[in-house]
Amino acid sequence: MASWKVRGGRQLIGRVRISGSKNAALAVLAASVLATGPVVLENIPRVQDVEVTLNILHSLGVGGHWEEAGLLRLEVPEKIAGSIPFAEARRIRASSLLLGALLAKKGEAHIPLPGGCNIGLRPLDLHLKGLAAMGAAARIAGGQVLASGHDLHPAKIYLDFPSVGATENLVLAACRVPGQTIIENAAKEPEIVDLASFLNAMGAHVRGAGTDVIRVEGGFELGPARHTVIPDRIEAGTYMLAAVITRGRVTVENVIPLHLQPVTAKIQELGARVEEAGETLTITGPERVRAVNVKTMPYPGFPTDLQSPMLAVLALAAGTGVVVETVFENRYQVAEELQRMGAQIKIEGQTAVVIGQPKLWGAEVRVPELRGGAALLLAALAAEGESRLTGVEGINRGYEDCLAKMQALGAEIVSEVS
């Protein structure tokens, strides 16, 4: 297990280039199986979840190699012959997107019940209900998810909750269904818009992505495409909060400021200065942050993926902040680890009350999951003394070159392998 030794107290200063969005990349990679022929993808982050997805695609018979950093060239066969390697696929939640993609491509899909971060129950009921509405036989049996149906029909589907994964899966499946499928109460995340523009570049007709009604006119042959994935708004938000917590000054480059508006607004409320210039945002942290209240919501609300890093920031605020998590039911695992560093956090159901402290102290802490890991890193950067973060593979699952990027901003971190 790898760990990082962090000496806290250094202000982060400088510029950091934000990688392509992990979550958009995972959706786009799943979507690529719908094409036949070459697919060229740019701005793909080389993180563990992407590598796992690539291994799965290879097992399905999709050829592919990194041509240069961030540039992936895939060769998608007309017929998918291979099968999904279960042990590999269970490692990531996004393998569930292959359900819609493979159903569309070959009329059936078997995937293991997906894993990924343990941040809640994460059922697939909305995915399965939507696929069933299109005429697929979709069920869970023996630890697997099975979907089949060679004659799918268009449907009007209302999602009980605007699930990102369910919206993506249904859009993918609908691409091969002749006629118009309508998804209402669809997720509006920028990653959905990115998936739709990639599908449209392949020849699909997806309209309304980014609003809560998506219309897919399916049944078109999908072919070669070239696509550049959007910047990772969660990675950007994490570095923005790192600037805030270390009272530093950081410019995040290669971002879409519009995607970060919900985050920028909260960061300003914390007392930080945010300057926008083209595709960059420069954040200057205040001497001490003000306590704020945060409620996570589907986009364009405050992202649940930045809730944990926000807990770390509020742990050092002047005053008490209240955080309400409305998206995932088990996203406060990191609170216990933050408490080892001196944070005062009380959890009541989906609410966390964070009583800001003047200082945090270095400690030995364990990365519970991806975003919780980011929160611990931020806390360690601001804490007095030395911290050891164990299980940093959890951070590397979703942050490209995190160690090197943090070091380049002046963080004192070294990697240790035990």
Q: Which is nearer to ligand UD1, 303 or 321 (CB)?
A: 303
The distance of closest approach from Cβ of residue 330 to ligand UD1 in the complex, given in angstroms and rounded to an integer, is: 9
Give the nearest residue (CB) to ligand UD1. Answer: 165
Is 117 considered catalytic here? yes
The distance of closest approach from Cβ of residue 387 to ligand UD1 in the complex, given in angstroms and rounded to an integer, is: 25
Largest CA distance in the chain: 63
Q: Give which of 160, 141, 138, 163 is closest to 149, Cα–Cα.
A: 138
Residue by residue, DSSP assigns 172-219 as HHHTTSSEEEEEES----HHHHHHHHHHHHTT-EEE-BTBSEEEEEE-
Round to whole Å and give the CA distance between 193 and 206: 9
For ligand UD1, the binding residues (CB under 6 A) are 23, 26, 93-94, 120-127, 161, 163-166, 187, 304-305, 327-328
Q: Which is nearer to ligand UD1, 125 or 151 (CB)?
A: 125
The continuous run of DSSP H or E covering 281 comes out as strand 280-284
- Tokens found for residue 186: 């669809």
Round to whole Å and give the CA distance between 14 and 280: 12
Q: Which is nearer to ligand UD1, 158 or 161 (CB)?
A: 161
The distance of closest approach from Cβ of residue 58 to ligand UD1 in the complex, given in angstroms and rounded to an integer, is: 20
The distance of closest approach from Cβ of residue 394 to ligand UD1 in the complex, given in angstroms and rounded to an integer, is: 14
Burial class (CB in 10 A: 0-12, 13-18, 19+), 174: buried
Query: CA 51, 54, 55 angle in degrees (round to 5)?
Result: 90
Round to whole Å and give the CA distance between 164 and 126: 10
Q: Which is nearer to ligand UD1, 248 or 368 (CB)?
A: 368
Give CA 228 to chain center in angstroms.
17
The distance of closest approach from Cβ of residue 8 to ligand UD1 in the complex, given in angstroms and rounded to an integer, is: 27
Q: Which is nearer to ligand UD1, 126 or 316 (CB)?
A: 126
DSSP 5: E
Q: Which is nearer to ligand UD1, 125 or 276 (CB)?
A: 125
The distance of closest approach from Cβ of residue 169 to ligand UD1 in the complex, given in angstroms and rounded to an integer, is: 9
The distance of closest approach from Cβ of residue 395 to ligand UD1 in the complex, given in angstroms and rounded to an integer, is: 14
Residue 91 · residue 117 · CB < 8 Å: no
Distances (CA, A) of 317 to 105, 128, 340: 51, 43, 17
Question: How many Cβ atoms sit within 10 Å of the Cβ of residue 258?
Answer: 11
Round to whole Å and give the CA distance between 317 and 139: 47
The distance of closest approach from Cβ of residue 354 to ligand UD1 in the complex, given in angstroms and rounded to an integer, is: 20
Torsion of CA 18, 19, 22, 26, to 10 degrees: 150
Residue 325 · residue 120 · CB < 8 Å: no
Q: Residue 278: which residues within 8 A CB-CB, separation 6 or more? A: none
Q: Which is nearer to ligand UD1, 165 or 257 (CB)?
A: 165
Torsion of CA 144, 27, 326, 343, to 10 degrees: 100
The type of residue at 221 is: E
> Which entry of 6, 16, 28, 117 is annotated as an active-site residue?
117
Q: Which is nearer to ligand UD1, 127 or 247 (CB)?
A: 127
Q: What are the catalytic residues?
A: 117
